[in-house]
Amino acid sequence: MSSSKAFKPKILSDALSLKEIVRTILPYLSQVEERLSAVSDEGEGILKESSHYVLSGGGKRLRAALVLYAASLKPCDMSKAVEVAAAVELIHSATLVHDDIIDHAVLRRLMPTVNVQFGSEVAVLLGDFLYAKAFEMIAAVGNSQVTELMALTTRRMCEGEIDQLKHRFRADLALEEYLSFIERKTAALISACGESGAVLAGLSAQEQKAFSVYGLSMGISFQIVDDLLDLIGMEKKIGKTLHTDLSNGKLTLPLILLRTVLVGEEKNKFIESLKSPNPDWQGVVNLADRHSIREKTEVFANDYLTGALAAVQIFPQDVQNTLEAISKFVLKRDY
Amino acid sequence: MSSSKAFKPKILSDALSLKEIVRTILPYLSQVEERLSAVSDEGEGILKESSHYVLSGGGKRLRAALVLYAASLKPCDMSKAVEVAAAVELIHSATLVHDDIIDHAVLRRLMPTVNVQFGSEVAVLLGDFLYAKAFEMIAAVGNSQVTELMALTTRRMCEGEIDQLKHRFRADLALEEYLSFIERKTAALISACGESGAVLAGLSAQEQKAFSVYGLSMGISFQIVDDLLDLIGMEKKIGKTLHTDLSNGKLTLPLILLRTVLVGEEKNKFIESLKSPNPDWQGVVNLADRHSIREKTEVFANDYLTGALAAVQIFPQDVQNTLEAISKFVLKRDY
């Protein structure tokens, strides 16, 4: 199970790189990098150092790409889209910085987390700064629909995180509860990205909605795969601290699926692991392997992906193809 | 020095209660309380519990009062002012929740801090939620000048906090550096409150600016007194953990003033205290007492207060009187 064979469900077999997919918006993606770099440079001392540490660390820039791609579908002021795209990357970074404090994570993108590198005090304030800077940039764009959407989305992300935190170490967590957590903490922002771009481009309400649904389903699919990786991935490939879900008592889809198939002594031992802050994660990984949890989890991920693509059938074929390629890129993860 | 005699410099000798001062906006202040209560009720579980814990804990509601009073000076849609006023109280609460994590404070408004009561994980996320909810409410009001001002202010507050954090345990901190910290971390929001209210009421640019300067000077004065209280106040009167500045290595005005008057062995011992995470605070308090640091600090506080009142001389006498009464109320603190 913890082998290195790549994740290749049928639907994802021909994934391209993001740069190949979104060639038309590449110049704008570069502008986003420049904006992020400028944001770091505005600060001084430890703020500059820590924000640079976080913002130059790469990342897929999936969220920025979604804003830009949606905005590019109709002639509009792309400088506004660049600003919103950079801002959503700031929001995303802020959530990562704060989540790593909460999860006691030590590794992110193959580097020490901010809480490890600069201390958790700096991590709390850096996250706050990134959020605030993001809203400053979004507000300056001056589109009230986008500003409201982003503020509402950020609020829902926090609610999802808090809800999940509250339900830690609950071995009986229901599938619906898990889905409600990840919809808010991960999928809502991905959904808001495409929708914001669509709003900036002046696409129809139906088209805005299509981007919203696409992002929501794709975001859920993405988080399911992320949670699978946390269980069965290899740290040096994923580049971040793994098994944080288990040790932080977060019941994710693979763990819920495992719970439903186990019986007797195996089930008892597993339930005990779920409630323990020091779980026998290797034992759990072995159990998951024995019961084909990877494959079962991937079925869910693919279902949500199919839902995402169904939502964008109102668009011309070339747009659909691009959105399909983006989702394949997002889900093509090496275990 | 740690006696219980009330702080009564000349200028503050006849302070009224906030309710007596702002009788005309009392109905709107009640509406703010209702909004804050509704925000708590929107959440579930630990979010509802913790936000209720923070938002129902009282507080002066100075920031809300400034928004409402400025907005009330000219007929306008006061429901928008109520929304912004509630939002700034959310922003203020968010900063307190996060600051208490950073300062390892255990007491706030005579109750355990959120980090003690609910754990620092909840405290991180609750602060994020309060910020996000605030921006959602401000964005919904739909005044882009106010939205931009509030986002910019929040970003500057974070910068001020980070800057102060970075300069901890620096015994040679300059007065100007200290003023730059507190201007951003405290005074900027108080300044933005009156200015926002003035914007919502459609007051002139000059009048908006007057509120901005008034709030900034008054906010600096307020923070100076707060920092004095942290040194020489009594916990059961102030209601929050004291001596956090010393033990967190934050050089505040009274400590800077003390540093400038000490010589020889006294100075050496003091400098040692400033660099220690376990300072002899009683020794420092005694030194401050011996060198009349309270009186010296109050001179600064009063100077900024005078500056605040000078800035609002463009308004009719009754408005000036009210703004003077508000500042007196704010600074009337029992040691």
Chain A residues in contact with B102 (beta carbon < 8 A): 121, 124-125
CB pairs under 8 A between A and B: 137
Q: What pLDDT does residue B225 have?
A: 92
Nearest to B299 by CA among B15, B14, B10, B13: B10
* Smallest CA–CA distance from B152 into chain A, residue: A136
With H, G, I as helix, E, B as strand and everything else as coil, classify residue A44.
coil
pLDDT single digits (tens) A142-167: 999 999 999 999 999 999 999 988 88
The beta-carbon neighbor of A159 closest among B102, B129, B139 is: B129
The verdict on B121 touching A (C-beta cutoff 8 Å) is yes
For residue B112, the cross-strand partners are B107
Q: What pLDDT does residue A9 have?
A: 44
For B218, the enclosing helix (H) or strand (E) is helix B205-232
By the 8 A CB rule, do B105 and B241 touch?
yes
Please state the rounded mean pLDDT for residues B240-267. Answer: 87
Which of B128, B145, B148, B170 to mutate to test binding with chain A, by most A CBs within 10 Å of its CB?
B128
Domain boundaries, chain B: 10-331
How many of the other CB atoms lie within 10 Å of CB of A168? Answer: 16
| B264 Rama class: left (phi>0) / alpha (psi -120 to 50) / beta | left
Q: What interface predicted TM-score (ipTM) does this complex get? A: 0.88
Q: What pLDDT does residue A25 have?
A: 93
A-contacting residues in B 39-98 (Cβ below 8 Å) = 43-47, 94, 98
Q: What pLDDT does residue B160 have?
A: 93
Which of B154, B155, B244 to mutate to test binding with chain A, by most A CBs within 10 Å of its CB?
B155
The verdict on B157 touching A (C-beta cutoff 8 Å) is yes
* Smallest CA–CA distance from B151 into chain A, residue: A136
Spatial distance between the Cα atoms of B148 and B155, rounded to a whole number of angstroms: 11
Q: How confident is the model at residue B217 (pLDDT cuts 50, 70, 90)?
A: very high
Q: How confident is the model at residue B188 (pLDDT cuts 50, 70, 90)?
A: very high
How far apart are the CA of B2 and the nearest CA of chain A, in angstroms?
30
Q: How confident is the model at residue B14 (pLDDT cuts 50, 70, 90)?
A: low
How many of the other CB atoms lie within 10 Å of CB of B168? Answer: 16
How many of the other CB atoms lie within 10 Å of CB of A316? Answer: 8
Q: What pLDDT does residue B59 have?
A: 80
Q: How confident is the model at residue B334 (pLDDT cuts 50, 70, 90)?
A: low
By the 8 A CB rule, do A190 and A216 touch?
yes
Backbone phi and psi for residue A40, each to the nearest 5 degrees, phi listed first: -60, -40
Spatial distance between the Cα atoms of A95 and B178, rounded to a whole number of angstroms: 30
pLDDT at B181 over 90: yes
Chain B residues in contact with A159 (beta carbon < 8 A): 43, 47, 129
Nearest to A162 by CA among A181, A149, A179, A175: A181
Q: Is the CB of B161 less than 8 angstroms away from the CB of A127? A: no
Q: What pLDDT does residue B259 have?
A: 93
Chain A residues in contact with B139 (beta carbon < 8 A): 139, 144, 147-148, 151
Query: B40: which 2 tokens?
Result: 């708590």
**Least confidently predicted of A51-55, A263-267, B236-240, B309-313:** B236-240
Chain B residues in contact with A136 (beta carbon < 8 A): 148, 151-152, 154-155
Q: What pLDDT does residue A45 have?
A: 83
Q: Is the CB of B148 less than 8 angstroms away from the CB of A155? A: no
Spatial distance between the Cα atoms of B55 and A333, rounded to a whole number of angstroms: 43
pLDDT single digits (tens) B78-102: 999 999 999 999 999 999 999 999 9
> Which regions of chain A are under pLDDT 70?
1-16, 57, 234-238, 333-335
* Smallest CA–CA distance from B130 into chain A, residue: A155
The beta-carbon neighbor of A151 closest among B132, B155, B158 is: B132
Q: Is the CB of B140 less than 8 angstroms away from the CB of A158? A: no
- Give the class (CATH, top level) of B10-331: mainly alpha
Query: A151: which 2 tokens?
Result: 């503020």
For residue B267, the cross-strand partners are none
The beta-carbon neighbor of A132 closest among B102, B138, B155 is: B155
pLDDT single digits (tens) B103-128: 888 888 888 899 989 999 999 999 99
The verdict on B159 touching A (C-beta cutoff 8 Å) is yes
